[in-house]
Amino acid sequence: VTADFRFYKSIDSTNTEAERALADGCPTPLVIAAGHQTKGRGRLGREWFSEDPGNIYMSFVFRPHLAPSRMQRFTLWMGLELCAELHDQFDAPLMLKWPNDLVANGKKVAGILTEARIDSDQTRDLVLGCGININSNMDNWPEEIRQRATTLSQLKGTALDINQLGAALIRRGLNAYDAFVDGSYEKDFDSRWHRFNALEGQTVTITDHHGDHIGTIEGIDEAGALLMRDKSGITKTYQAGDVTLSGG
């Protein structure tokens, strides 16, 4: 796989830069990475703490022609593949927490923010941004985030080679994209999902714009939406939200 690559020492947000690049007619696939971000963005309008060097801030930029209904599954697949790569490289207990957090021992290591422009029912522009906590010592991170997050170097007890790791993740991500577009990912999706799904059979709380919902995770549907059975035995589908494991 080949792709263009742009690196910025500092930028507002690699996802925002990706939007500008797409508006300028950039070639795709394109990977945009930065040493740090001044306006890193997370899911649900949150901020992504990006001041520290030593972490990965990058965005994959694609122009696929996917039906919008396949976007959730695409994001899950990319998350699973990036999780598998980190797992292979470090033998760390990494799991994917639906929809797109990478967690280890219940703490967040990485997050994914997918943004798309949809035209006449096709996804034209697709930006998959990925922030991975690697070598940051987290000393100047807000206390509330330090409670819930960790870094790969903390997990391994040693500083890691961010360039080598970044290159491996880019390769894996581009291959994963190709496999999704040509359909060959189908044969691997279920085994990856069962291996890395952090929520398998767990009792959780899903928080979405309607409020909190408690139940037991049963899996995902064809589109990648989460299926949860509540205590009256009814299974419902959740398209978006934050999942909290009971007891952590």
Least CB distance from residue 136 to ligand BTN, whole Å? 13
Least CB distance from residue 67 to ligand BTN, whole Å? 24
**Is residue 241 close enough to count as binding ligand BTN by CB under 6 A?**
no
**Is residue 40 close enough to count as binding ligand BTN by CB under 6 A?**
yes
Least CB distance from residue 145 to ligand BTN, whole Å? 11
Structure tokens at 42: 């997370």
Q: What is the distance between the alpha carbons of residues 127 and 237, in angstroms, rounded to a whole number? A: 25
Structure tokens at 2: 């080949």
Q: What is the distance between the alpha carbons of residues 106 and 102, in angstroms, rounded to a whole number? A: 9
**Is residue 35 close enough to count as binding ligand BTN by CB under 6 A?**
no
**Is residue 36 close enough to count as binding ligand BTN by CB under 6 A?**
no
Which of 6, 13, 21, 22 forms a contact with ligand BTN (CB under 6 A)? 13
Burial 215-240, CB ≥16 within 10 A → b, else e: bbbeebeeebbbebeeeeeeeeebee
Question: In three state form, how does the secondary structure of 107-155 look?
Answer: EEEEEEEEEEEEECCEEEEEEEEEEECCCCCCCCCCHHHHHHECCHHHH
Which of 99, 129, 215, 241 forms a contact with ligand BTN (CB under 6 A)? 129
What are the residues whose beta carbons fall under 8 Å from the beta carbon of 182, sequence distance 6 or more? none
Which of 29, 99, 131, 173 forms a contact with ligand BTN (CB under 6 A)? 131
Which of 21, 30, 57, 134 forms a contact with ligand BTN (CB under 6 A)? 57
Q: What is the distance between the alpha carbons of residues 229 and 129, in angstroms, rounded to a whole number? A: 31
Closer to ligand BTN by CB, 169 or 222: give it. Answer: 169
Least CB distance from residue 233 to ligand BTN, whole Å? 32
> What mask, x for binding ligand BTN by CB under 6 A, covers residues 97 to 116?
----x---------xxx---
Least CB distance from residue 121 to ligand BTN, whole Å? 26
Q: What is the distance between the alpha carbons of residues 195 and 122, in angstroms, rounded to a whole number? A: 31
Closer to ligand BTN by CB, 44 or 67: give it. Answer: 44
Q: What is the distance between the alpha carbons of residues 223 and 219, in angstroms, rounded to a whole number? A: 11
Task: List binders of ligand BTN among 145-204 (CB under 6 A).
Answer: none
Q: Give the interface with ligand BTN as residue ranges (CB under 6 A).
A: 13-15, 37, 40-43, 46, 48, 57-59, 101, 111-113, 129-131
